Amino acid sequence: MALIAFNSPCTARPFTLAATRRTWAGRVLTGAGLALLPWMGYLAGTLPPAEAAAWVALDAVEAACLLVAGTRLMAGRPGHRVAAAAAALLLAADACADVATAGPGSELAGAIAMAVGAELPLAITCAALAARSPR
């Protein structure tokens, strides 16, 4: 077994702090994109058809952007910046639309909690990744 480990045909990338941060950010974005998939099913099943189509379409584009940016970051491939910028814009717009269209009471409180706790921090992370200079 030791010979296989030392003579592996796969070349391992050297450990660097930048690579670790990139992998961590890629996992967060990919996880967020995957988490949107069951959420879209919930929206499709609980909202009226006209509203469901709009919200599911928005969340599907968000999920696609997050998945593209996250998988490219984890693989160490370039090209994540455009997807991250698009995800940041869509997440910020989604947070604003959620809060603006929420009814009073617990619906508004839930929309604000989702915006402050999930959508806006993720949008800020995506914007920071998109603004970083390529290395």
Distance CA 115, CA 93 (A): 10
pLDDT band at 15 (very low <50, low <70, confident <90, very high): very low
What is the secondary structure of 17-67 as a DSSP string? HHHHHHHHHHHHHHHHHHHHHHHHHHHHHHS-HHHHHHHHHHHHHHHHHHH
Q: How far is it, in rounded angstroms, from Cα 64 to Cα 74?
A: 15
Q: Which pTM does this prediction carry? A: 0.81
Res. 5: pLDDT tops 80: no
User: How do residues 57-87 score in pLDDT, each as one tens digit?
Assistant: 999 999 999 999 999 988 888 788 899 999 9
Q: How sure is the predictor about 1, in pLDDT bands with cuts at 50, 70 and 90? A: very low
